[in-house]
Amino acid sequence: MTNVLLLGAGFTADERARLTETFDSVSAAQAEDVAKIDASTRAGIKAVAFKGHMPLGAAIMDQLAGLGVIANFGVGYDAIDVTAASARGIKVTNTPDVLNDDVADLAVAMLLAQSRNMIVGDARARTGLWAKEGELPLNRKASGSSVGIVGLGRIGREIADRLAAFKMDIHYSSRSEKQTPGWTYHSDVVSLASAVDFLVIALVGGAETEKHVSAEAIAALGPRGVVVNISRGTTVDEAALLDALESGAIAGAGLDVFMNEPNIDPRFAALDNVVLQPHQGSGTVETRTAMAVLQHDNIAAFLAGQDLLTPVN
Ligand code: NAP
């Protein structure tokens, strides 16, 4: 009997096959497709394998009367209304830890690419501009500078560990002070931003952290400041960030996440002081496979009546 729903348009063929080869499943690409599944199949759904960023709230849950688990593909589950799930006795799982390295690698790559002007440099080497105009204007030393990590969680700590190897002075903000090898704690993000050159955001997304990196924090970063964001577009005041990038109030940004992905604000494309990535933090074959396995195994555990591997609620 069909008991698993694959919800989301973004499953790759391999990810889809991993689920459909084990489970008797049905698919819905968009939220509105759930209602198109016939009522008796819907009633049998016990697990949702979810991939994507569309809101998954009470309206969908209430169409699936037998639903017991939503297994998210990704560590960030801000698209899922966990309160609504808990109220219905529905468990939520995610895919923590297996993606830490890749997301941290991308944060460091964007920090280096921005400070060394690598996107402009690539175009100069590629297009013949190098022969015409000569060397790039001198850019910016990253090693030995100061960095502030906003949110010293699983990914934030991996970023800090990497940047410590670049001889950077590590500062961080979190809701509570952590055990560190002597990194400087700031209880608020404005104090953090005013102390550093690079501000790397590794917070959870969702309503509680919306615009956590405020206009005031961006202003405090100052004209040498660079924002790197691998968390969610929601965690930064994006309008204030764009204003600061356009006016030179800060030096630049490296961004993997935006508001309204994938239709990002066209003001970003006109800037030459930014490195832009299409939300690909965890996007390696190795890590996406590990995430797919964890999503699969959470569903298998639930259907077998075993403990979930990585529960959220
Ligand atoms: P995590 O271990 O839970 O760490 C999250 C951090 O956010 C913690 O430092 C936590 O602070 C902070 N935080 C949580 N709620 C907060 C609040 N209300 N106010 C202020 N700070 C708050 O999560 P993670 O595994 O490192 O992942 C972090 C995020 O990265 C994910 O949620 C996801 O959105 C994003 N992500 C992006 C990509 C990508 O492709 N770009 C890939 C994976 C993940 P405390 O230390 O005070 O608890």
10 Å CB burial of residue 120 (0-12, 13-18, 19+) is middle
Residue 309 covered by a domain: no
Question: Starting at the edge strand that comes first in sequence, how are the strands of the sheet with 226-229 ordered?
Answer: 184-186, 169-173, 146-150, 198-201, 226-229, 252-255, 274-276
Secondary structure class of 120 (helix, strand, coil): helix
Residues 86 and 111 in one domain: no
Pocket of ligand 1 (CB under 6 A): 75-76, 96, 99, 103, 151-156, 174-176, 202-205, 208-209, 212, 230-232, 256-257, 279, 281-282
221 domain-assigned: yes
Handedness of CA 103, 79, 254, 264 (dihedral sign): positive
* Total domains present in the chain: 2
Q: Global pTM?
A: 0.97
- Is residue 106 domain-shared with residue 248, that is, in the same domain? yes
Q: Which helix (H) or strand (E) holds 93?
A: strand 91-93
Q: How far apart are CA 63 and CA 253, in angstroms?
A: 42
- Find the CATH number of the domain harbouring 232: 3.40.50.720
Q: 197 lies in a domain?
A: yes
Q: What is the pLDDT of residue 312?
A: 98
Domain assignment present for residue 310? The answer is no
End-to-end CA distance of the chain: 27
Helices (H) and strands (E) in the chain, counts: 12, 12
Are residues 13 and 91 part of one domain? yes
Tell me the per-residue pLDDT of 153-182, one tens digit each, with 9 for 90 and over.
999 999 999 999 999 999 999 999 999 999
In a shared domain, residues 66 and 23: yes
Domain match, 148 and 241 both: yes
DSSP-derived secondary structure letter, 183: P
Residues 68, 118 share a domain: no
163 shares a domain with 87: no
Q: Which residue has the tokens 């961080």?
A: 172
Query: Hey, which of 155, 186, 213, 257 would you mutate to test ligand 1's pocket, going by the most ligand atoms within 8 Å of its Cβ?
Result: 155
As annotated, the active-site residues are 232, 261, 279
Asked whether residue 308 is domain-assigned, the answer is no
Taking 70 as the pLDDT cut, the residues of the chain under it are none
CB 170 within 8 A of CB 184: yes
In a domain, 311, yes or no: no
Residue 302 confidence (pLDDT): 98
Instruction: Please report the pLDDT score of residue 216 as a whole number.
Output: 98
Same domain, 70 and 198: no
d(CA 108, CA 113): 8
Q: Could you tell me the distance, in angstroms and rounded to a whole number, from the CA of residue 209 to the centre of ligand 1?
A: 9
Both 92 and 106 in one domain: the answer is: no
Q: Is residue 313 part of a domain?
A: no
Q: Is residue 227 part of a domain?
A: yes
Residue 196's pLDDT is 98
Give the domain extent around 83.
4-96+285-303
Distance between Cα 97 and ligand 1 center (Å)? 12
Identify whether residues 111 and 66 lie together within a single domain.
Answer: no
Measure the CA angle with vertex 182, ends 228 and 193; round to 5°: 30
In the chain, how long is the greatest CA-to-CA distance? 69
Same domain flag for 147 and 74: no
For residues 49 and 126, state if they share a domain.
no
Burial zone of 311 (CB within 10 Å; 0-12 exposed, 13-18 middle, 19+ buried): middle
